[in-house]
């Protein structure tokens, strides 16, 4: 079992010297359809041992990567969120950029809380689902509610990309809240715009990437795969254009639910995490 991200290729840098902190959060407190997200961080870190260090533009690993021990996910969800918040705050104190590995999408909220203490920023969500429900199965902290909490509770600007499954209530909330979006259907019909974010969107960006935002042909090991998603190369282009002229202050990769024999999904999620690392120095 890999002990840290890129184990066997690089050493686990100390927190103080690392430019990137990888924060594994094996949280699986709410499940809509298929389970398994608790095993996501371990699978991503394991698959990372097979990545090439050169990402096509540079070697993100040269920034130094510190992989923290997995966050303790026992107890109530709000306690887990507190632990995530502390871990992300520590990364910021070390002048490192936090990369959270889920786990279910709820983990994003802990990271956003920590970053809001220091920055004015906006959230870019790449996802098949809007995650704008007020509650789901009785909980306001379900993975299906995480972006509602970000907008309503934290007051963060949000831009959604790739959504292709949302409820009528979510559609109404998105319209009432004037949340800008580039849904999967619009991407299919019109392609990727040169400029994606509104001019008045904050310069600092947090990217939350639910792997079900990608088409199931790229990653099928996720709880609720939805057809008609984003292709791999389009995802890379979207990330580059979203961050053009802006600064990435943190990111997460969530909702991988590893399946026996499906090494491709684990590898794609690990490659996605490393790709995000490669965008950090370019925009900082």
**Residue 200 annotated as binding?**
no
**Residue 212 annotated as binding?**
yes
* Bridge partners, residue 129, by sequence: 165
Q: Any idea what DSSP says for residue 163?
A: -
Give first-to-last CA distance, the chain, whole Å: 33
How is 119-132 classified by DSSP, letter by letter? ---EEEEE-SB---
**Residue 143 annotated as binding?**
no
- Closest Cα partner for 211 from 51, 57, 86, 102? 102
Which ranges in the chain belong to alpha helices (H)?
Answer: 40-48, 77-93, 107-116, 146-148, 168-176, 184-190, 232-242, 263-283
**Residue 4 annotated as binding?**
no
**What is the rounded distance in angstroms from the CA atom of residue 153 to the CA atom of residue 241?**
28
Backbone angles phi, psi at 137, to 5 degrees: 55, 40
**Residue 105 annotated as binding?**
yes
Annotated binding site: 105, 127, 129, 131, 210, 212
Annotated binding site for Mn(2+): 105, 127, 129, 131, 210, 212
């Amino acid at each position: 079992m890999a002990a840290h991200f890129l184990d066997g290729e690089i050493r686990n840098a100390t927190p103080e010297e690392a430019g990137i902190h990888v924060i594994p959060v094996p949280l699986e407190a709410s499940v809509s359809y298929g389970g398994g997200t608790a095993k996501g961080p371990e699978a991503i870190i394991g698959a990372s041992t097979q990545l090439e260090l050169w990402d096509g533009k540079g070697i993100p690993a040269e920034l130094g990567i510190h992989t923290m021990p997995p966050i303790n996910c026992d107890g109530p969800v709000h306690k887990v969120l507190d632990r995530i918040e502390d871990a992300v705050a520590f990364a910021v104190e070390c002048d490192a950029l936090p990369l959270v590995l889920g786990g279910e999408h709820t983990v994003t909220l802990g990271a956003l809380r920590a970053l809001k203490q220091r920055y004015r920023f906006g959230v870019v969500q790449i996802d098949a689902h809007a995650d704008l429900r007020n509650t789901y199965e009785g909980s306001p902290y379900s993975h299906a509610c995480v972006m509602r909490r970000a907008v309503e509770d934290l007051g963060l600007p949000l831009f959604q990309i790739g959504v292709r499954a949302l409820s009528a209530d979510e559609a109404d909330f998105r319209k009432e809240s004037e949340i800008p979006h580039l849904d999967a259907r619009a991407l299919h019909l019109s392609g990727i715009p040169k400029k994606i974010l509104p001019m008045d969107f904050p310069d600092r960006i947090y990217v939350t990437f639910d792997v079900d935002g990608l088409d199931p042909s790229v990653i099928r090991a996720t709880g609720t795969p939805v057809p008609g998603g984003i292709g791999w190369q389009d995802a890379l282009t979207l990330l580059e254009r979203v961050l053009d002229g802006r600064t990435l202050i943190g990111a997460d990769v969530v909702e991988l639910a590893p399946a026996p024999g499906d090494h491709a999904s684990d590898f794609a999620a690990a490659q996605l995490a490393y790709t995000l690392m490669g965008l950090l120095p370019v925009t900082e």
